[in-house]
Chain A
């Protein structure tokens, strides 16, 4: 069965370190998204991609970057982790248009 996976599921890091969160989908979807979810907020879009070599900034992109070298993967990098980036991160994908998004299980990141 097609799926979308994230790794690691939990990560503790220190302020200033570079961290990369992996997202891998086997749906063959063109569109991939990274969100963060914090108490009191809805899901907030960090970055998104509509296909290989395409990346776009979302609402809260400062301090994050992504790359899309193939259809399956959209890794999210925190260049220099800050405590404000402690959050739960969700990756999602969709097959384009206005279709539903499929979510990964999430990564809980703690920056000390």
Chain B
């Protein structure tokens, strides 16, 4: 069974600070890497789908990079705001099914 690891499990960040967290996956089973944002009491929403080694995607203050050869992706948030508080999930697309990490819970302290 493929394993997708996310670290850290949780993270407290001061408002205004920048932060990043990691998703690790077995590089040999790679089709695409997804990042989702999951706010409390809501459903997961897609942030990025990344397929190319070295790919970098950006949406506002959030960006992600991908290294398929070594099997990791970083998610960066610049200048954290209270509305960034959520759980960030990554998922490995292995043959059109998503294998999910357990998430990084981000809490922004005002």
A42 and B49 contacting across the interface, CB-CB below 8 Å: no
Task: Return B14 CB to nearest CB of chain A, in Å.
Answer: 27
* Residues of B contacting A50 in the complex (Cβ-Cβ under 8 angstroms): 96
A105 within 8 A of partner (CB): yes
A40, A44, A98: which contacts B93 (Cβ < 8 A)?
Answer: A98
A100 and B102 contacting across the interface, CB-CB below 8 Å: no
**How many residue pairs bridge A and B at CB < 8 Å?**
51
Task: Return B87 CB to nearest CB of chain A, in Å.
Answer: 10
CA A101 – CA B91 in complex, angstroms? 11
A42 and B101 contacting across the interface, CB-CB below 8 Å: yes
Task: Return A73 CB to nearest CB of chain B, in Å.
Answer: 18
Bits for A80-112, please: 1 = Cβ < 8 Å to B, else 0: 000000000010000011111111111000000
A59 and B1 contacting across the interface, CB-CB below 8 Å: yes
Bits for B76-107, please: 1 = Cβ < 8 Å to A, else 0: 00000000000001010100111011110000
B45 within 8 A of partner (CB): yes
Q: List 23 A-B contacts (CB under 8 A).
A: A35-B100, A42-B4, A42-B89, A42-B100, A42-B103, A43-B89, A48-B97, A50-B96, A59-B1, A90-B44, A98-B31, A98-B49, A98-B51, A98-B93, A98-B96, A99-B49, A100-B34, A100-B46, A101-B44, A102-B46, A103-B43, A103-B44, A106-B43
B1 and A45 contacting across the interface, CB-CB below 8 Å: no
Question: Residues on B close to A: CB < 8 A?
Answer: 1, 4, 31-32, 34, 42-46, 49, 51, 89, 91, 93, 96-98, 100-103
Chain A residue nearest to B102 (CB atoms) is A42
B49 and A44 contacting across the interface, CB-CB below 8 Å: no
CA A76 – CA B101 in complex, angstroms? 23
* Residues of A contacting B101 in the complex (Cβ-Cβ under 8 angstroms): 42
The secondary structure that dominates the A interface is loop
Question: Total interface residues on A, using CB and 8 Å?
Answer: 25
Chain B residue nearest to A90 (CB atoms) is B43
A100 and B43 contacting across the interface, CB-CB below 8 Å: no
Task: Return A49 CB to nearest CB of chain B, in Å.
Answer: 11
Given contacts A33-B98, A42-B100, 9 further A-B contacts (CB under 8 A): A35-B100, A42-B89, A43-B44, A43-B100, A44-B100, A99-B49, A102-B46, A105-B42, A105-B43
